Amino acid sequence: MHTEALTGGFGDAPVDAARAFRGAMNAMARPGRIEDLAGAEPPAPLSVAAGVLVLTLCDAETPVYLAGDHDAPAVREWITFHTGAPFAGPEAAMFALGSWEALGPLEAYPVGTPEYPDRSTTLIVEVPELVADGAVLRGPGIKETARLRLPEVAAFQQNAKAFPLGLDFFFTCGRQVAALPRTTKVEG
């Protein structure tokens, strides 16, 4: 294990994790709203926000899939040391992390079952920028409408049609995060 895997975690784990959890849940509860996350310094190519989400949401019971450039030894070692999360393929992952292109196709991930819709994957999608324009979002947590630039509108429209099954998404860039739960209706 490289020594950089031992650094970059939460400095004050209980306080930092609580703040990060609040930020992540605020983003999920208010689709399209951009929140700031801080408290970790993960290895490249992980953004700060993606690293904070991993530290906050993953543990030894949550299999993680790393896609594309994110499947790097430094990232694996950092996640293992700080969370103990096991690694899995997309078909068994509770969380998947990577760029939009590397994470495809979405059909590879569990969407839950009618009895257990919560047994689905949450994707942490690293994007070049988070901007509150583009696709129109409607649904729970949104007063009238919200906007968020998405990598592909049709995929999110299809995902929402499967409700209560489906995938949930966090989008990360630098220290910023936004979320798109499966309950959100997306218009181009």
Complete edge-to-edge strand list for the sheet that includes strand 185-187: 146-148, 135-138, 185-187
Q: What is the share, in percent, of the chain residues with pLDDT greater than 70?
A: 97
Q: What is the pLDDT of residue 18?
A: 94
Task: State the CATH number of the domain containing residue 183.
Answer: 3.40.50.11310
pLDDT band at 5 (very low <50, low <70, confident <90, very high): low
In three-state secondary structure terms, 187 is strand
pLDDT of residue 20: 94
Spatial CA neighbour of 122 closest among 173, 174, 79, 167: 167
Q: Give CA–CA dist 168/160, Å, rounded.
A: 10
Residue 3 reports pLDDT greater than 70:
no
Range of the domain at 143: 3-187
Domain count, the chain: 1
Tell me what pLDDT residue 7 has: 76
Average pLDDT, the chain: 95
pLDDT tens figures, 48-96 = 999 999 999 999 999 999 999 999 999 999 999 999 999 999 999 999 9
Q: What are 104-145's pLDDT values in tens digits?
A: 999 999 999 999 999 999 999 999 999 999 999 999 999 999
